[in-house]
Amino acid sequence: MSSFEIALLGIGMLLVLLVIRVPVAVAMITVGVGGYVSLSGWGALLNYAKTSVYYAFSNYDLSVVPMFLLMSQFASKAGLSRALFQAANTFLGHWRGGVAMAAVGGCAGFGAICGSSLATAATMGQVALPELKRYNYSGALATGALAAGGTLGILIPPSVVLVIFAIAVEANIVTMFQAALVPGLLAALGYLIAISIYVRLKPEAGPVGRRAGKGERIAALVETWPVILIFAVVIGGIYMGVFTPTEGAAFGAFGTAVIAFWRGGLRLDGFLDCVKGAAVSSGMIFMILMGADFFNAFLGFSRMPLELADWIGASGLAPIAILMLMLLIYLLLGCVMDSLAMILLTVPIFWPVIAGLDFGMPEGDLKMWFGIIVLIVVEVGLITPPVGLNVFVINSMAPGVRLKETFIGVLPFLASDAIRVLLLILFPAFTLWLPHLLK
């Protein structure tokens, strides 16, 4: 059996293991180990395993992950979500569907200090859902807006998933974060437009809220200063090269912790909860990284990704068709799989293929363009059936709204996502403008 065939067999077995509910990390290690042994023997594997996990974990770029997770935990306890929602509401509330728009705006603001989608959805949901109910918004629009708005947590930097993508393709995390900003803002804008079209078709779903005066608006905006300050320091500092992403994340975690103690009433037991939460999410991510380390060692040995890239490059298929095929695979995988696991599993195979095709841009730009598109497409998995985690979380917080209603409520936002992905594919400038400007 050629090594190419062994690699294909390995991928097949991996899928079988995933189907029988073996955790992604365990399945990747098992197949990685099996493939490694069949290609280079037990001795090599046992030797590799002596230090490989240490080296996989002691990577300076990766240390940004636990810190951003800690930051997300503190941010959700800092009591900032109410201020963000109120501020957005004073500006948008008097429009038709305005309170739902304010929920999306709040999510965008929260996403600027939080790198996690579920945390963003859940934190904003606590504040915004009761308000949406008070203004008689339909359950579908209220929960749909928040479930979709939650994905802004990952699209707007900082973003843990983007860090993992950057490490997987050996891209610069700083330029990746720069590339994410405009598409992230575009996402927020697209969601606002989706709401305004939706309420035009169904006016009863999103009644007009209260109009706020100018003074009230300014006062509400001032209340959000900790968010603005933390975002400016962390993301601004990373963009301008004042410090590394890890140092920025440290400032972010420290800053949100201070705010959480000072304004959010965080005490020792709350602090322990934050630490526990960050520990569980970090453990989960690093388990998958450990799996990816073994799985990629196996794939690398088999040379399958390179041969596949050569083969596809020589096949004469249009690059854009191959890109579309990959995005379709992400959409399908996203229905059943976690976004991070999906990226670590597919990027070692997909990236060499993309890098080998001619999209008319240098490799550095290609990494950003492809990365941001993949980021959006894998995030769609969080709001599509059957396992849209954001949908489940928001739905469980809204008693009396059926799950089906939330999935229907998400549809306008999915349409907005689809349009945005097409725009970003057709106009790479959306993604590349800011990194080129700051270079």
Partner 1 sequence: MAETDIELARPADPVGRALLFCSYGLAVAGGFLMAAITVMTVASVLGRYLFSAPISGDFELVTMGTAISVFLFLPYCHLRRGNVVVDLFLAWAPRKVQTFFDGVSGLLLAVIAGTLAWRMVVGGFDMHQYNEVSYILALPIWPVFPVAVLALGLLSASCLYTAARDFREITR
**Chain residues that interact with partner 1, rule: CB under 8 A:** 18-26, 29-30, 33, 46, 49-51, 53-54, 57-60, 62-63, 66-67, 70, 116-119, 154, 160-161, 242-243, 246-247, 250-251, 253-254, 272, 275-288, 335-341, 386-387, 389
Q: Per 3-state DSSP, what percentage of the chain is helix, strand, and coil (rounded to 5)?
A: 80, 0, 20
Min separation Cβ 278 and partner 1, Å: 7
Residue 73: count of CB within 10 angstroms of its CB: 28
Task: Between 232 and 280, name the residue whose CB sits nearer to partner 1.
Answer: 280
Q: Which is nearer to partner 1, 42 or 427 (CB)?
A: 42
Q: Nearest distance from residue 430's CB to partner 1, in Å?
A: 24
Which CA distances in Å does 178 have to 71, 89, 191, 245, 384?
19, 28, 21, 12, 28
Smallest gap from residue 238 Cβ to partner 1 (A): 12
Cβ partners under 8 Å of residue 315, min gap 6: none
Shortest Cβ 81–partner 1 spacing (Å): 17
Angstrom distance (rounded) from CA 95 to CA 411 = 21
Measured from the CB atom, the residue of 18 and 195 that comes closer to partner 1 is 18
14 versus 194: smaller Cβ distance to partner 1: 14
Tokens (6 digits) for 159: 């973003």
**223 versus 247: smaller Cβ distance to partner 1:** 247
CB of 215 or CB of 386, closer to partner 1: 386
Phi-psi region at 211: left, alpha or beta (left = phi > 0; alpha = psi -120 to 50): beta
Nearer to partner 1 (CB atom), residue 247 or residue 310: 247
Minimum CB separation of residue 34 from partner 1 in Å reads 11
CA distance 58 to 419: 40
Give dist(CA 246, CA 249) in Å, integer.
5
Residue 296, phi then psi, degrees to nearest 5: -70, -30
Q: How far is the C-alpha of 241 from the C-alpha of 239, rounded, in Å?
A: 6
3-state SS string for 140-194:
HHHHHHHHHHHCHHHHCCCCHHHHHHHHHCCCCHHHHHHHHHHHHHHHHHHHHHH
Distances 91 to 13, 190, 210, 216, 410 between C-alpha atoms, Å = 53, 17, 10, 10, 23
User: Smallest distance from the beta carbon of 247 to partner 1, in angstroms?
Assistant: 5
Least distance from partner 1 to the Cβ atom of residue 324, Å: 24
Alpha-carbon torsion, ordered 244, 249, 251, 253, to 10 deg:
-170
Residue 236 or 283: the one with the smaller Cβ distance to partner 1 is 283
CB of 46 to partner 1, least distance (A): 6
CB of 301 to partner 1, least distance (A): 18
- What are the φ/ψ torsions at residue 205 (nearest 5 degrees)? -75, -30
Q: Which is nearer to partner 1, 221 or 387 (CB)?
A: 387
